[in-house]
């Protein structure tokens, strides 16, 4: 079962309690109150997560978080797992 739109495993996130995050799937807006392009994109296309999108992996998800020093590879791999039912 997917936990986020972008491949983050919310159940193992160490920060979720500190920032009062319930996960983007169950929240109208991200915990920071702004907008998440990945969340918005998935919801506009009515897909649960990026891995099941016909355009996966697009430039949005492939570059998501890079500006903050995050490696997108683990999230991309998780989306692939979710899409495969694993």
pTM for the structure as a whole: 0.85
What count of other Cβ atoms lies within 10 Å of the Cβ of residue 52?
15
Can you give the pLDDT at residue 20? 85
Cα 86 to Cα 65: distance, rounded to the nearest angstrom? 24
Instruction: Map out the domains of the chain as residue ranges.
Output: 50-86
Residue 76's pLDDT band (cuts 50, 70, 90) = very high
- For the stretch 3-54, pLDDT in tens is 899 999 988 888 888 888 888 888 888 878 789 999 999 999 999 999 999 9
Closest CA to 26 of 46, 7, 3, 47: 3
Q: How wide is the angle at C-alpha 37 spanned by C-alphas 10 and 64, nearest 5°? A: 65
Residue 1's pLDDT band (cuts 50, 70, 90) = low
């Amino acid at each position: 079962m997917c936990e986020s739109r972008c491949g983050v495993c919310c159940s193992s996130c160490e920060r979720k309690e500190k920032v009062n995050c319930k996960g983007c799937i169950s929240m109208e807006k991200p915990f920071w109150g702004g907008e998440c392009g990945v969340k918005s994109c998935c919801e506009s296309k009515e897909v649960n997560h990026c891995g099941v999108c016909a355009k996966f992996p697009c430039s949005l998800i492939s570059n998501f978080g890079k500006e903050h020093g995050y490696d997108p590879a683990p999230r991309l791999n998780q989306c692939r797992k979710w899409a495969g039912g694993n």
